Structure 1
């Protein structure tokens, strides 16, 4: 390898590829903040107010709060043409593939009604539609009628009602608000960076969000929550966790949801979500799944501790237990992730467009050396 090719990173680990003022991930100290506000101080704040903060970098005033709530409720309602389009999607198609395909097909608004620019208008329009699409896809898969949001209801109260056909409890709404705030934004994660690459070509915001969602679908990214809960279902009970972990480590099988690429200590989001999961998971099935997950984490910590290493569960590990207790099927977990992370995608799109540069890295060529055309033909 030549000197000009000697320094590179397959996974860009530790490589700074840009600046952002949206969120700060301090992996060594286990801290996460949105726009300079610690994640712990955002739990309990109305979800849409946090979304506005993430997207625009400031709290909404009273008029903006009212306009945003009305806007998101209005656009979460699928039009007849959108329902017809969704009706052509196979009922058993994974919700993430449904979202990735449907978003570029939506008819984008062409007027700025929120006063924040057309890109922001279209991004928040997509965010509103995602909740309606997820709920409607689930209802169609059950051969049930599509339900619509009710004006005046909270964002996640509407969503859970549209999804299940019955109103949730205040505790369920509070828990979903918290889980979604925790996964709203996380700096240059794979999905966000994929969207920035797409945006750098001057592609429209629906293309960038679709690219981000396609990236989020991977098991090594957003799909870890589904994989972690299905792992707990496969294990069956807490007493089998030790044997499962030892077998995985012996066979070098990754235990989904354990450890995090950025955090060298406890994931600050998991610290918040784990006790919430304990509080919410009260039915027998949910309690058993949560106890199994806790047993897996403890077994991992013992096994890694014997090797002189530390490992902790990340937010994906316990988020699945929360979603399960809310009656969300496991194959919808990552779509729920997308429903929250889309606000981070919008924020990064708007931030990047302020000083757009085409992202075009170099590659180190390691193939055959070039030869003259007449020599290659000889």
Structure 2
């Protein structure tokens, strides 16, 4: 590398830093697959089936899916010690900071029961506990007592019961399954790569997941879902979207949730999620927010078309409307992302650990310039 090369070359964009068999992001074609299966197909499958496929590379039978659902539901309960630690945290703490701090403190079993290896089982226990932590933190914010359990045959039905204290309808469970499948895995995204760097030091899986969650919190990564819906709330109505977009472009302000670093065409996850959100969001408030988001996307596309360019909403853009309809405040959206992406983190930990090697890049030293003489 020569001294006059632009520093932008250090952002690692497009640089191959490893291999994976877990997922493939084809940005040019707008395709995403897990273990060779297209996301269009996977979004319609049972959640437990896709979890097993992502982690272990095989399609489980119905008995294995039922076993995994029971395992996740049974571990989606906080111990007395975990509840006591949770009570000591500041109540205003963002859910993502709560998760990042609590994950390394989770008590993990010493013996396995699923027959998938202790590392994998520890990861699945953490995944289950994340759902319990989110539900407990939400109920604490709402001034409600934590709940101890729910149905054991469907993980997301169990979670929504822990969250709101009543068994949800089938449509809510179905769209939550699909939404979480769509954001479960995405190759070497920032959070996953941070986890692989952590794993390369031979850190335990709870440290790896905590590092990944901390990275996911950023507004330029997982935090875009919260920012996108809060943008729609601040705009207020669909008819105000065009003026908002024009002002953002004039002031060179980033419109959260529009465009994606990898996809040069429509994000395949957003393509699937948008019609789901349109079918789900029927109450006046959710519909107004969704219509505002749709108007923002249309205004962006019109503005970019005048410049001879195309732009599309990514998955973060529309999933906020889904989570809002499910009764979650905006500051919990990224925690819901973590609750799904954790399975990708586990899969990468297992894959990388088979041939672990310390990730230690080099930096080019550039001495600081001396201050100019007065």
Normalised TM-score (structure 2)? 0.96
Question: After superposition, where does 1:180-329 map in structure 2 within 5 Å?
Answer: 180-329=180-329
For residue 44 of structure 1, report the CA deviation from its aligned partner: 2.3
Shift of 1:152: 3.0
Q: CA deviation at 1:2?
A: 4.2
After superposition, what is the alpha-carbon deviation per residue over 1:148-183, rounded to whole angstroms, capped at 9, x for unaligned?
Answer: 233433111111111111221111111111100000
How far residue 62 of structure 1 moved from its aligned partner, in angstroms, is 4.1
Structure-2 separation of matches of 1:42 and 1:103: 28
Residues in 2 aligned to 1:5 and 1:318: alpha-carbon distance in whole angstroms: 39
State the secondary structure of the residue aligned to 2:219: coil
Q: Mark the CA change 1:95 to 1:279 in structure 2 (over 3 Å): closer, same or farther.
A: same
Distance 1:231 1:193 in 2: 28
Query: How has the CA–CA distance of structure 1 residues 152 and 10 changed in structure 2, closer, same or farther, with 3 Å as cutoff?
Result: same
Give the Cα–Cα distance (whole angstroms) in 1 for the partners of residues 65 and 267 of structure 2: 31
Q: Separation in 1 of the partners of 2:247 and 2:294?
A: 17
In the alignment of these two chains, the number of paired residues is 369
Q: Which residue of 2 aligns with 1:374?
A: none
Q: How does 1:29-178 map to 2 (within 5 A)?
A: 29-178=29-178
Q: Relative to 1, partners in 2 of residues 1:203 and 1:5: Cα closer, same or farther, differing over 3 Å?
A: farther
Distance 1:341 1:362 in 2: 29
Per-residue CA shift, 1:307-362, capped at 9, x if unaligned? Answer: 11100000000000111111111000000000000000000000000110100011
CA–CA distance in structure 2, aligned partners of residues 145 and 6 of structure 1: 55
CA contact (8 A) 2:150 2:159 kept: no
- CA change 1:92–1:186 in 2 (3 A) is same
Q: Distance in 1 between matches of 2:248 and 2:4?
A: 40
Q: Does structure 2 retain, via aligned residues, the 8 Å contact 1:119–1:205?
A: yes
Q: Which residue of 2 aligns with 1:19?
A: 19
Q: Which secondary structure state, in structure 1, belongs to the residue aligned with residue 344 of structure 2?
A: helix
Q: Quote how far apart the aligned CAs of 1:69 are.
A: 1.8
- Bigger drift between 64-73 and 132-141 goes to 64-73
- Cα deviation digits, residues 183-223 of structure 1 (max 9, x gap): 00000000000000000000000000000000000000000
SS of corresponding position for 1:33: strand
C-alpha contact 1:5 1:364 (8 A) present in aligned 2: no
CA distance in 2, matches of 1:6, 1:304: 27
Going from structure 1 to structure 2, the CA distance change for 1:302 and 1:128 (only over 3 Å counts) comes to same
Q: Supply the distance in 2 between the matched residues of 1:362 and 1:264 (Cα, whole angstroms).
A: 30
* Aligned-partner SS, 1:9: helix
Query: What residue is the counterpart of 1:375 in the other structure?
Result: none
**Alpha-carbon separation, structure 1, partners of 2:5 and 2:30:** 34
* Other-structure match for 2:372: none
- Check whether the contact 1:70–1:151 (CA below 8 A) recurs between aligned residues: no
SS at match of 2:11: coil
Distance between the aligned counterparts of 2:340 and 2:36, measured in 1? Answer: 19
1:73-100 CA-partner distances (Å, limit 9, x unpaired): 1110111111111111122211000000
1:5 offset after TM fit, Å? Answer: 7.9
Structure 1 segments of 4+ aligned residues over 4 angstroms from their partners: 1-8
Unpaired stretches in structure 2, ≥5 consecutive residues = 370-374
**SS state at 2:146 partner:** coil
| Cα distance in structure 1, aligned partners of 2:3 and 2:249 | 38
Identify unmatched segments of 5+ residues in structure 1.
370-378
